[in-house]
Amino acid sequence: MITRIVRLVGIAVFVLAFFLPAVRDPHTTSGPVSLPMSGWICATAAISASAGIPHLVSGAMQGKDLPGACCLILSGWVNPLVLLFLFFCIWRKFVRIRRVLAAAILICFVATWVFFVKAPMVPLIGHFLWVAGALMILFGEVAGAVPPQKTKEL
């Protein structure tokens, strides 16, 4: 029951994060570019980077920043993977698939942070709540992986 409550709160926090400031560019201090990007704008930009994979490959051959672009693409896959994870939570028998998805989500989070360093971008409250919400959603898999301890009866 606790894992369901944590997962529901995680979904609420995850969704809320899309409407909050998520990142900002540390180099711009004035003008509209200096404003932070909200979570939904970041999500749209990151997932649309996947459409540029053919350009990414040709750009890599020209010496462009391949690791940074790959990290941006991976960060764009967090949201679809979380939705897929939630879909597989409907049935108990898909434990392995959920655990693989959870691992993939964690790898994509690491890619997001690598992108922040390479871009550079400064994470804001929306990003932290986005991560916290996703981790709360994944909490059930971690909590469910620990077998309950048997109590000794005297």
**How far is it, in rounded angstroms, from Cα 75 to Cα 141?**
21
The answer for residues whose C-beta is within 8 angstroms of residue 142's C-beta and 6 or more apart is 102
| CA separation for the pair 59, 65 (Å, rounded) | 8
Q: Which range among 49-63, 94-108, 127-141 shows the weakest confidence by mean pLDDT?
A: 49-63
**Range(s) of the domain holding residue 18:** 2-26+36-143
Residue 33 burial by CB count (10 A; 0-12/13-18/19+): exposed, middle or buried?
exposed
Structural domain includes residue 84: yes
Query: For residue 149, is it within any domain?
Result: no
Please state the φ and ψ torsions of residue 144, each to the nearest 5 degrees.
-75, -20
Count of domains for the chain: 1
Per the listing, tokens 């391949």 go with 66
Q: Which helix (H) or strand (E) holds 122?
A: strand 122-123
pLDDT at 31: 62
Angle subtended by helix axes 53-61 and 66-76, to nearest 10: 170
Please give the residue that has the higher pLDDT: either 46 or 80.
Answer: 80
**Cβ atoms of 131 and 109 closer than 8 Å:** yes
154 is a domain residue: no
- Give per-residue pLDDT as tens, 109-139: 999 999 999 888 999 999 999 999 999 999 9
